[in-house]
Homo-oligomer: A and B are copies of this chain.
């Protein structure tokens, strides 16, 4: 079954919201797809008709199994394209999101299969997020953010939650990227800030807000 670009964007956003906020509201979804709540309601009815979501008016909604599969398929495409853009075309990891947002809607199955192969079947995108395989299976990595990870242990940055350009700017300033190795020296209770040590760099302190968005393999 084929879906419109709008439908795909809604589905994908519901998936993401479900992961982080587990209760998905019309208002949250509206913000995610950059539209108004009224438009969301309209779309929810369509998605329900197509059996992509479970939805009763005035109640929060969830993806059906079918909806979940569709979401994973779009996310797979999005992340494979991001990987392509960074690894083959030399884009920086903070430049690829908007382009992948378009590319993810190209419909050819065969294209994605071949792209996946061309890229040597990567498991993680440039932001450290897992790329679902063609069956929607995701390679799960146990990870903890800097507010939860253990002290004095070698950590490897594995993904960044908030991928806004503001966040990515700050990361660049700290010389932090996917794969960066660091140790946590100390956590400060007063403001939740965290002192970290990266290889040859002087110690640095990151805010709690930032720490919560930086995930590491443990």
Among B89, B90, B102, point to the contact of A107 (Cβ < 8 A): B102
Contact with B along A46-86 (1 / 0, CB 8 A): 00000000000000000000000000000000000000010
Say what secondary structure dominates the interface of chain A: helix
* Interchain nearest-CB distance for A89 vs B (Å): 4
Chain B residues with CB under 8 Å of A99's CB are 106, 108, 111
Would you call B111 and A89 a contact (CB within 8 A)? yes
Residue A28 at the chain B interface, CB threshold 8 Å: no
* Interchain nearest-CB distance for A184 vs B (Å): 37
Task: Name A residues whose Cβ lies closer than 8 Å to a Cβ of B.
Answer: 85, 88-91, 95, 98-99, 102-103, 106-108, 110-111, 114-115, 117-118
Chain B residues with CB under 8 Å of A98's CB are 108
Q: In the complex this chain forms, how many copies of it are found? A: 2
Would you call B89 and A115 a contact (CB within 8 A)? yes
Taken together as a complex, chains A and B put the C-alpha atoms of A95 and B107 apart, in Å, by 14
Chain B residues with CB under 8 Å of A103's CB are 106
Chain B residues with CB under 8 Å of A91's CB are 110, 114
Closest 7 CB pairs of A and B: A89-B114, A99-B108, A102-B106, A99-B111, A89-B118, A88-B118, A103-B106
* Interchain nearest-CB distance for A155 vs B (Å): 33
Q: Could you show 12 A-B contacts with beta carbons less than 8 Å apart? A: A85-B111, A88-B118, A89-B114, A89-B115, A89-B117, A89-B118, A90-B114, A98-B108, A99-B108, A99-B111, A102-B107, A103-B106
Chain B residues with CB under 8 Å of A89's CB are 111, 114-115, 117-118
